[in-house]
Amino acid sequence: MPKIRVLVVDDAVVVRSRLSKILSSDPELEVVGVAANGRIALAKISHVNPDVIILDIEMPEMDGLQTLSAIRQIYPRLPVIMYSTFTRSGAIATLEALSLGASDYATKPSNLGSVEATNQHIRDDLIPKIKVFGAFFTPSAITHPVVFPVRSDIQQVEVVAIGVSTGGPNALGVVLKEFPADLSVPILIVQHMPPMFTKLLAKQLASKCKIPVDEAVSGQIVKPGHAWIAPGDFHLIVQRDKTGVQLTTHQASRENSCRPSVDVLLRSVAQVYGAGAIAVILTGMGQDGLHGCQCIREAGGQVLAQDKATSVVWGMPSFVVNAGLANQVLPLNQIADEIMHRIRSNQVPLSDL
């Protein structure tokens, strides 16, 4: 099997050297070129023919965003993974890069304490993404689909919980902007992102949507017509008490190598809302959300999944679909309408309250 060909673009020679060494140590990868800025990278692409480009954001002469725009004009399908610093400016630029067509991003290791910890961060965070976009990734097969009895007593929808990873910021923008200002249910979201990125994502989405979108804070009361995103490095759950349903964030162990985890959120949603929940699994790597969707279905709730054609990576939705957990599989641009249809078709008329 041919190796995945990688072009590394970064102005720091130490970063180029370290990435080249670590990526080349993987038998499935080959670093076919390096470049110190965007202009050099653009000149090299046609000569080294990479399968994936690792692209720094902050560079002299031609920065990552300018380079990405130029790449997308000439090579619209060439996978580009942004390699960003773990700073506010890096997060802002990363979100902009994703909106410009970057395939994904990885954060540069910082304050990890040792060279080996730094190297392991690269192996864990960057290499799997390179393999996904280099087409070496194959999801594990689900052996026995779960079969649920057909229900005739679908309960009124009380909450929508969304799980998403790779390709998520753009996918969330497509879905959330379609919800009306008078949306009758709350929206709870787990997007796999580090701290600071999620707060900026919430702010970005809020500027495009009719409903408020915020990063979740423990103790907030869940209310209709509002969306909350789990903060980076914190799980998000819901808990019911005398005052209503509250948001709680915590830092228990990672699940599916993720914190926040979709499974953690969906388990709590199933427990609190039962058959009144809709779970939505959008584009993303891995299988986070699979167990949570089973909990939602066992509680009588509904599950929607994004289809393969419109997913950046059909990983998370594929596990849910292959397990027989999805009530419906839809292209991204139809998901909001389907959610609204399911909310409205089961609303209790005011005269019945």
What is residue 138's DSSP assignment?
A: -
Active site residues: 165, 192, 288
Domains and CATH numbers, the chain: 4-133 (3.40.50.2300), 159-352 (3.40.50.180)
Cβ atoms 284, 167 nearer than 8 A:
yes
- Model pLDDT for residues 146-190, shown as the tens digit of each residue: 656 555 566 799 999 999 999 999 999 999 999 999 999 999 999
Closest CA to 258 of 230, 278, 281: 230
Closest CA to 5 of 66, 37, 46: 46
Ranges assigned E (strand) in 198-353: 213-215, 227-229, 235-241, 244-250, 277-281, 302-306, 328-330
- Model pLDDT for residues 282-340, shown as the tens digit of each residue: 999 999 999 999 999 999 999 999 999 999 999 999 999 999 999 999 999 999 999 99
pLDDT at residue 246, rounded to an integer: 97
Residue 228 β-bridge partners: 188, 214
Q: Reduce the secondary structure of 31-98 to three states and give it as a string.
A: EEEEECCHHHHHHHHHHHCCCEEEEECCCCCCCHHHHHHHHHHHCCCCCEEEEECCCHHHHHHHHHHH
Distance (Å, whole) CA 16 – CA 9: 7
Mean pLDDT for the chain?
91
The β-bridge relationship of strands 235-241 and 244-250 is antiparallel
- Model pLDDT for residues 99-153, shown as the tens digit of each residue: 999 999 999 887 656 788 888 989 999 999 999 999 754 444 444 566 565 555 6
Q: What is the mean pLDDT of residues 63-70?
A: 96
pLDDT at residue 115, rounded to an integer: 82
pLDDT at residue 118, rounded to an integer: 84
Q: What is the mean pLDDT of residues 60-89?
A: 93
Cβ neighbors of 114 (< 8 A, separation 6 or more) are: none
What Å distances lie between residue 98 and 90, 211, 281, 283, CA to CA?
12, 22, 19, 14
The β-bridge relationship of strands 277-281 and 187-191 is unpaired
Residue 280 β-bridge partners: 162, 304
Q: What is the mean pLDDT of residues 32-61?
A: 95
Cβ atoms 35, 132 nearer than 8 A:
no
Distance (Å, whole) CA 322 – CA 145: 7
